[in-house]
Structure 1
Amino acid sequence: MNNVIYEQVAQNTENSFFYRRCTSWYKSAIGYHQHPELEIGFVIKGGGQRITDDFIENFREGDIIIIPANIPHCWIYDKLACPADERIEEAFIQFPQAFLDRLSRFAKEFQETASFYTNLKQCLSVQGEGAEEIRHILLEFENYNEQQRLIGFLQILMLASCSGNSRYIGHHAFNGIPIHKNKQRLQAVYKYIIENYHRKITLGEVADHIAMNKNAFCLFFKKSVNEPFTVYLNRFRLQMAVTLLNRTDQNISEIAYAVGFADIPYFNRCFKKEYGISPAEYRSKYKR
Structure 2
Amino acid sequence: MSPLIPQESPLTDIPPYQTMLSGNIMINDAVIEIIDLLLEVPAGFAQCPAHLHTWYELNYVFKGHMKTSFGGSMLDIHAGEFFLIPPGMEHAHAYEPDDPHTGVCLRWKVDRGTTISSEGTFSTFEQLTVLSNWKPGVYADEFGLGQLLASSFENAKKYGPSVATLLQVVQVIFAITEQSTERKVWIESESSSDYSLLRKVDIYLNDDQSYEVDVHRLASSLHMSYGHLARKYKKLSGHTIKDRMNQIRLERSLELLCNTDQPIQEIAFTTGLSSLSYYSRLFKKTYGISPKAYRNRSNE
TM class by smaller structure:
0.3 to 0.5
TM-score by length of 2: 0.40
